[in-house]
Structure 1
Amino acid sequence: MTPVSAPPIATASITGLVLAGGRGQRMGGADKGLQMLHGKPLAAHVLARLAPQVGVLSISANRNGDAYAALGAPWRAGVLADTLPGFPGPLAGLLAGLRAAQTEWLLTAPCDSPWLPADLAERLTHAALSARADIVTATTTNAAGEVSLHPVFALVRTSLADDLAAFLCAGERKVRAWYARHTAAEVAFADERAFYNINSLQELAELERA
């Protein structure tokens, strides 16, 4: 395996945030991050991939906080609940992460993507510096040439917290609409599987059998 080089922004300047605060509607209401894959909760797989890339880690979760907290004390900066009611979406989890972070940057990943890139921080931070961007997200291109944006795999400058709070208080919820308010950049990744997210219990069972 090719070793992953250090990101141009020091890992100590990056807080990782695993987004696990959704309703799990496509999993019948199950708490997605705590569903088991190969003997470990999905969120634990994501934490293991993200931990070497950041200084500290947090989890955005609106239920089962004790179960998430038990996933690993050495890295844990906290389990963060949304400050807005009614599960308003990933931007609410992002806001909680931006508010809690003690670093300049926040790197986010969803709890249902156990194969996220080992060089996610490295490549997004390079783009942040070269493009002078405040937000950097990942894209992939499929065999048909169609480009997919993966907006919740993102590097975000934590100084944007107040702007995001105002955006949410205005009733806005769309991730891309908020990104469009700021200087943003995208990084193309070749491996689509790295961004695969598990959306149903059936998909999870099939992966478990595989």
Structure 2
Amino acid sequence: MQRLPRPSREQITGLVLAGGRGTRMGGVDKGLQPLHGEPLAAHVLTRLAPQTGALLISANRHADIYAALGAPFGAKVVADTLPEFPGPLAGLLAGLRAVRSDYLLSAPCDSPWLPADLAARLADALASNSADIATVTTCDAGGKRSLHPVFALLHTRLTDDLADFLQAGERKVRAWYARHKTVEVAFADERAFYNINSLQELADLERHRGPG
């Protein structure tokens, strides 16, 4: 298999997915909840900024607050074009429609410890496998494998196909990935992809500098 050119940092736009309902947090805007004095989304922006060129924030509420949060990083805010918070694929589509680069790297707003080499490793896998999408897997101490599909690097040529998929009423991330050549990249540290799903988890983690 011929290796495709590896996407450079400048060819990758980062996207922080912060457009959900936050139902497991009682409906609060998850990305704006504080951890160690900073909103969760700010932690993710800080991690992504050195790895990508431009940055975007997918948000459906508090756009002005997110705009101020993203300003130091040059990040712009984009909103879903589909009604009723249809899920992360809608945020991904909004990001794909807004980018000016060839690739988009997505990460959820509730995973403040994402790896510093996320973009590099996904870019290597995308190129060496001539894939359309690269996403993340981890294994826990017992060997149980987990897929983290909202961490993904993908080519912007998939924009129209994703729009058609959502227009047909589909919402599942894995089902859309199955339509394309997708490579899964194994990361050893599952804690780096820990996502905060409740206010209690957030309160517990406030006492620590990392997950676990």
> Which of 168, 179, 194 is the equivalent residue of 2:166?
168
Residue 36 of structure 2 is aligned to residue 52 of structure 1: no
Residue 120 of structure 2 is aligned to residue 107 of structure 1: no
Residue 34 of structure 2 is aligned to residue 40 of structure 1: no
Give the corresponding residue for 2:95: 97
Secondary structure of the equivalent of 2:153? strand
Residue 135 of structure 2 is aligned to residue 154 of structure 1: no
Contact 2:6-2:126 at 8 Å conserved across structures: no
Q: Which amino acid aligns with 1:205?
A: A
Give the corresponding residue for 1:79: 77
Measured after TM superposition, the shift of residue 76 of structure 1 is 2.7
What pairs up with 1:127-142 in 2 under 5 angstroms?
127-142=125-140
Secondary structure of the equivalent of 2:71? coil
Distance in structure 1 (CA, Å) of the matches to 2:96 and 2:192 = 25
Give the alignment's TM-score, normalised by structure 1: 0.95
Structure 2 unaligned spans of 5+: none
**Percent same amino acid among aligned pairs?**
74
Distance in structure 2 (CA, Å) of the matches to 1:39 and 1:144 = 34
Q: How many residues matched?
A: 204
Give the corresponding residue for 2:195: 197
Give the alignment's TM-score, normalised by structure 2: 0.94
Distance in structure 2 (CA, Å) of the matches to 1:145 and 1:77 = 37
> Which aligned segments of 4 or more residues in structure 1 are displaced greater than 3 angstroms?
none
- 1:36-70 CA deviation, whole Å, 9 max, x = no partner? 00000000000000000000100000000011011
Secondary structure of the equivalent of 1:199? coil
Give the corresponding residue for 1:143: 141
Distance in structure 2 (CA, Å) of the matches to 1:97 and 1:155 = 12
Q: Which amino acid aligns with 2:159?
A: A
Contact 2:14-2:48 at 8 Å conserved across structures: yes
Contact 1:8-1:122 at 8 Å conserved across structures: no
Distance in structure 2 (CA, Å) of the matches to 1:119 and 1:36 = 25
> Which of 164, 176, 180 is the equivalent residue of 1:178?
176
